[in-house]
Structure formats: structure tokens, C-alpha cells
Structure 1
């Protein structure tokens, strides 16, 4: 009987402890916390040298007393962590070019939002075209905790690249001979393309019969659909349109076997391959825009191209989105890069790429000046 009573007391005690723990957890969930309502802001820098932003934070629930908050520029290590997490290459915006009307603010009792603080970003004209910068701003309070994951707001700044000169393609091609022994296990093909009209098979780039990135392969694949073809094949279901610019990319990550076709930075199709890799010099070799002297048709692209790149790594979705209009020619893993804006030297049927490491043979790329810069929508 004694043991039974002890057992009952233990059960009641356990229930009381559980109820107490639940109440503590509930109290922690309901306690007010300070945070940024939006943690990412994209600021496009055109011709202005100064931008002003209204900085504010908020509480998760109202309080009966005033809550004081403070703002600081986060340490550069925060940017390093962000880049490592998302596969990006943002540079820290120079904190000396940031001024706040005050580093503190207050959330009045019975209110949710702090009074605005003016944040001024200056010397924007010194930002390099095509480079991406980020300013991380942290909010804190001595009286209430911060909400995990939203105590830092990221202000992304970029000076858009304005591409107004591009390469015309109809019967034009560039053929590349990579160094002997080149072998791509993982890779990325990417380019800006504009199609005037679709033929049954339209070459973007690659090694025909081995690893080619193209539009259409009629009658099997519709003439306006992106396809990866060769020893492995798959294609998108959504069609491209004539008369508009696209950023297109094909990636393959050999360790995972994952391959993806991206359009304008978004996944349009994917597959799983068991491909160990390939030699881009094999078969008829690597070509851009057309496959010269190919016995089953030269398959030209009728349109325009810009920013043609080949990488020896699988670029991430974020990296593709961040660098559609330009990259540093010295970027790690960048093997081939044709800007096709007239900056590459063409002489005697040879065109040198922007990395300075490869020469391509060409039928002659005509550079066209656009009435307005390329826009990816």
C-alpha cells in the first residue's frame, strides 16, 4: 500500500513538473521580442551617390512600458557566414560610408514599431559595376530578447551592368580547343541569349554527341524548348519565346549526380545522372552558336548572345542569379568567358576570351549595338 501511495505521488509530481515546463515554454513563446519585419532589402544603385533609408524594428507583442532599441553595423564575419550559407560572393559595404540619424530608437508602450531612424548610404558612385555588396545591420535591446533569425537586416546594393553591345549569330560560330587533358566532371554552361526565330535545332554551346546545350531537336523535342543532350538527355517543358532576352544555364554536380537547367535564375528542369565527366575536345569538339561541318546539319542559332561562360564547377542557383550580367574573369572555376561586347580581340579568324587563357576560332562575330541595355525579366 505504501509503495502504491509513493507511486501515485511520483505521478502527480511528474505531471506538475510537465505542466510547469509547458507553462514556462508557453511564457517564452509569448514574451515580447524585438526583430526586423523584413530581413532583406535590395537597393539598386543607378546614378545617385547617396541613398537614404528609413530604418525601423518592431516587437512581436506590445508591452506596457517603453522598449529601447539600438542599431549597429554587424561584423564582416556575418557577411562571410552569409556567403558560405548561400553560395554567394557579396562584399561588405564600407561601414565608413554609413550614417544614422541616431543609433538608438524607442518603441512606445502599447505600440509595436520603433520610431524611424534615417540611415544614409554615401559614396555609391565608387561601387564597381557588376559587383554586389551587402550591409548587415543588427538590432538589440537591453530589456527584451531578439527574435532568432531576424535580428539582422541585410541591405544588398548593386550597380547594374548595362550591356548594350552583343554578338550576332546566324551562321556564326566560335570553336574552342581546350588544353590537352581537359576533363569536366562537374560543369556549368551559361549565356544570355536572344532568339530571332527557331529552327528545328538551335545550338547554344557544347560538344555535340557528348554534352550539348541547345534549343529543340525536332521532331522529338519541340524547337523552342531547352535541352541538354549527348550521352545524357533531358529537356524543359516550358518553351522560350522569340524577341526577348533570357539567361540560361545548365549545371551538373558530379558528386551528387544532380543536373539542372535554369532560366533567369530559376529551375526549369532537372535530372539525375551517373556521368563521371566528359572531354570537351572529343567528337566534333566544343562549339558556340553553330556546329561547323557537322554531317547531320550545322544547327545554327539565329539571334544574339552575350556573357557566354563555361565553368569547371556546378554554379549554385544564387550564384547564377547574382552574376547574370557579368563576372570577374579571374573567378575560381571559370574556364571560358566570352563577353561578346566588342572587347575581345578578333584577328585572322581567332577570338581571344576574356580570361586571356583560351583562343577560339571563329567565322567572325559581328557586334551589334542595342537601343536599350539588356533586361532580364
Structure 2
């Protein structure tokens, strides 16, 4: 027993010593093995900073990171270094100039990574006076500038060369610079499910135009269908279908009752009409009872036209059918005819039949009209339109850049609400084809 007791004590002592070494492992490492770097530069040394021309200020945050904790505080100096612009241009075959100091400010030149930690507090790079609201003239539109932010030195640690500098590529753009990702997400419209003036705008229609600017990352993800907008099995603009190319637009006006468009799935499959992954497209689809004509436009140009399609104009169609069920709930006796409307599918952006048909990409500039817009009207207003234009009943610019609520710019109050937290990609700049 005495020998066993001694053996147990030896094992425990060894375990404690090992644990102590593990907890203070960084104490025994050479400081030259430790390095510091910018967290944003580790992901991508080129930080695209494109913003809309009306923005007066813009902030970008980052932190300094160490490869492992130090036993002592580590002071790190961070600065904007104009001398790095020439090197960047030489390596990237560009000719951009350094942004004037009147338009930016780095909040702190020195930060400390406390002992036992691997990251500093956030640093803020502020771009200011962009619209000329300060004592300087406004930053020129569509000109590109550089702001290299670099770690100049660190006490007790080396620099991770490839990630010690972040190059902020700054551009005040006339183009669309904000879009939301609908990957595994979609946009709901709660006001369209309730009876009232807001949902009335989307019901009793005799013509419609859907518009959106989209960029799909990958057509192979999820199901055969990528949903853009509309109402499932009623009036839906989507990409792909069963036995139909995944990359071809389809306007689905399925339904054979009098109060549905009833023009079926349009157009037929055509391998010459495929969209490419990673490209921005302005998409529009129109239908009118008066002409019984269905049209699809890509980048402002007619792609497909069908005539003599759909039901006669005996009964208008509805995009907010749930609102009629709300009338029934308010007065079941008076509105008994709407008793079965609780199953009417809702109007969404990025969702249709189930949770697997989202748009695997980004979306911006979404509109719904109660008229069939002409090709010329669509071409001229692809990237912007007056929110008070007659016939425009829903307009979601997606220019918030953050948050989960998408404002309805018509003033009608049909704001969109994301099902999950939205992602807002940075560096967005949609080419304006009608201005080239």
C-alpha cells in the first residue's frame, strides 16, 4: 500500500506540472515566434470600400491580432503609410492615388494587446467629408483612391508580412453600392397579410411588372429552383424548374381559376437564355390582361415574349390574398366567402414553395408595379426610379447596408422583414449598362 501511495503522489505531481506548463505555454516560447497582423488583412489585404454618393461618412473597424498570447502587454503601432501606394500600383497594374488626409482619420496610432490575450480593442478608420459637408470639397464621384493601413512596429513580437497591411480601395460611386444576400434567407411582408390600404395596393390587379437586380453565386446549391420574387403557384418570378435549365428565368403564372393570371410557365426551355453565376443582372417580367402578353427582360432588353396567354380579364388577380382571409377573421359572417383564403400563398422575396428554394446570391432595387412597363421604360430606369412614379406600388432599394428591415420607398409602408439576420456584402458596385 505504501508503494502504491507513493506512485499515486508521483502521478499527481506530474499531472499538475504538465497542466501548469500547458496553461503558461506562451511563457516558454521565444518572442520571435510570435507575430502580429491585422485581422481584416488576414482575410483579404484588399478592402473594397465602395459607397453611394450621398453618404457623408463611413467607418471601417479592425483589430490587431497575435498568433498566441504573451506574458506581457504588447504595444503595437498602426499608421496610414502613403509610401505603400506606389508598391500597390506596381503589383496590381493600377494607377490609383493616395486619398487626401482631409477625407480620412485613423482613431488611434498605438494599441495594446493585454497580457494573456491575442487581440487588441477595435480600431476605427473613418472616411469623412465625402459629400463636401465639411470644410473641403466633396470627394469626386467614380474616382478610386487608396488608403494603406499598416503595422509599423510591435514590442516583443514580429510582423506577419502578408497580413500586416490592409489596402482600403476607396470609391464614391454613382452606381448601386448596397445589396443584401438572400443565401438561406428570404424577405417577408407582414402588412400584405392584413386587410387595409397597404395590402389593397397588391390586390385586384389587371397588370403587373416585377423588377429586381440580382447576382447568383451558385446555381447548383439547394434545389432546381432559385426564387426571385412573387407568389408560389400563382405569379412567381424564378430561375430554374424541374426538367428546366437551372440558369434560365421562368415566369410562373400557373393556375386555372378565374382569379389567377393562368398563363402557365413561361417561356419554354432554351439553352441560349441561361444566366451566368457571379454576374449582375437587371431582371423584369410583365403581364397584362388587356394584351394577354407575357414578357421577360434581361438588362433592359426583351428576352422572351408570349402572346394570347392567360385567362380573360373577367376577374382581377391578387398578390396579397391572405388579406382577404384577415377580413374573414374580423367578421366571419359578413366575409364568409373568404373562409378558405387562409391557405393562399404569400408574396416573398427569395422564397416560394418551401425553405429550400432561396436565391443563392444578392438582391437589390426590387419593384412591383400595377402596370406592364414597356421595354423603353425598363431600360431607362433599371438602376433608379422616382418612388412616386404612377403605377409603382412597392419599391425596396436595399440601400440600408445593415439591419433586417427593408424600407418601402413608395411611402406605402409595406416594409420587408428578413426571416433571419441579413448579410450585407461589402464592395458592391453594380455596373450601369444604360449609362455606358
Q: What TM-score do you get using the length of structure 2 for normalisation?
A: 0.46
Cα deviation, 1:270-302, whole Å, max 9, x if unaligned, reads 2132333421123221000123xx45x541111
In the alignment, the residues of structure 1 paired with residue 186 and residue 398 of structure 2 have an alpha-carbon distance, to the nearest angstrom, of: 12
Measured after TM superposition, the shift of residue 251 of structure 1 is 0.5
Quick check: 1:246–1:376 contact (8 Å CA) kept in 2? no
Cα distance change, pair 299–333 in 1 and its aligned pair in 2 (3 A)? same
Find out whether 1:191 has 2:191 as its counterpart: no
Counterpart in the other structure of 1:288: 349
Map of 1:235 onto structure 2: 267
Structure 1: segments with no counterpart, 5+ residues: 1-46, 48-128, 130-159
- Contact 1:245 1:375 (C-alpha < 8 Å) held by counterparts: no
Whole-Å Cα distance in 2 between the matches of residues 331 and 351 of structure 1?
A: 19
1:374 aligns with 2:435: no
Deviation of 1:243 (Å): 1.0
Contact 2:383 2:432 in 1 (8 A): no
1:274 matched to 2:335? The reply is: no
- CA-to-partner distance for each residue in 1:61-109, whole Å, 9 max, x for gaps? xxxxxxxxxxxxxxxxxxxxxxxxxxxxxxxxxxxxxxxxxxxxxxxxx
Q: CA deviation at 1:183?
A: 2.2
**Are 1:360 and 2:416 counterparts?**
yes
| 2:324 aligned with 1:300 | no
- Match of 1:50? none
Map of 2:289 onto structure 1? 254
**CA distance, structure 1, for counterparts of residue 406 and residue 428 of structure 2:** 25
SS at 1:269 equivalent: strand
Q: Is the 8 A contact 1:225 1:235 kept in 2?
A: no
User: Aligned match of 1:224 in 219, 240, 247?
Assistant: 247
Task: Give me the whole-angstrom Cα distance separating, in 2, the residues matched to 1:165 and 1:302.
Answer: 17
Larger relative helix fraction = 2
What secondary structure does 2:376 align onto?
A: helix
How far did residue 352 of structure 1 move?
A: 2.8
Paired residues of 1:330 and 1:355 also in contact (CA < 8 A) = yes
Deviation at 1:266, TM superposition (A): 1.2
| Total equivalences in the alignment | 215
- Which stretches of structure 1, 4 residues or more, deviate above 6 A after TM superposition? none
Taking a change above 3 Å as real, the CA distance of residues 312 and 203 of structure 1, as seen in their structure-2 partners, is: same
Q: Who is 2:165 aligned against? A: none
Deviation at 1:339, TM superposition (A): 0.6
**Please, which runs of 5 or more residues in structure 2 have no aligned partner?**
1-52, 54-140, 142-172, 193-197, 256-263, 322-343
Q: What per-residue deviation string (whole Å, max 9, x for no partner) do you get for residues 300-319 of structure 1?
A: 11111110000000000000
Partner in structure 2 of residue 175 of structure 1: 188
Give distance in 2, aligned partners of 1:281 and 1:185: 14
Q: 1:234 to 1:307 in 2, by over 3 A?
A: same
Q: Higher strand proportion, which one?
A: 1
Distance 1:227 1:214 in 2: 5
Length-normalised TM-score, structure 1: 0.52
Q: Say if 1:210 and 1:278, in contact at 8 Å, map to a contact too.
A: no
SS in 2 for 1:321: helix
Cα distance 1:161–1:253, how it changes in 2: closer, same or farther (>3 A)?
farther
Superposition deviation, residue 161 in structure 1: 4.2
Contact residue 227 and residue 237 of structure 2 kept, 8 A: yes
1: CA distance, partners of 2:409 / 2:184: 23
Q: Give the Cα–Cα distance (whole angstroms) in 1 for the partners of residues 433 and 422 of structure 2.
A: 23
Equivalent residue runs for 1:1-377 within 5 Å? 161-176=174-189, 177-178=191-192, 179-181=198-200, 182-199=203-220, 200-218=224-242, 220-229=243-252, 230-231=254-255, 232-235=264-267, 237=270, 238-272=273-307, 273-275=309-311, 276=313, 277-282=316-321, 283-291=344-352, 294-295=353-354, 297-342=355-400, 346=403, 350-357=405-412, 358-363=414-419, 364-370=421-427, 372-376=429-433
RMSD: 2.7
Q: In 1, Cα distance between the equivalents of 2:415 and 2:236?
A: 20
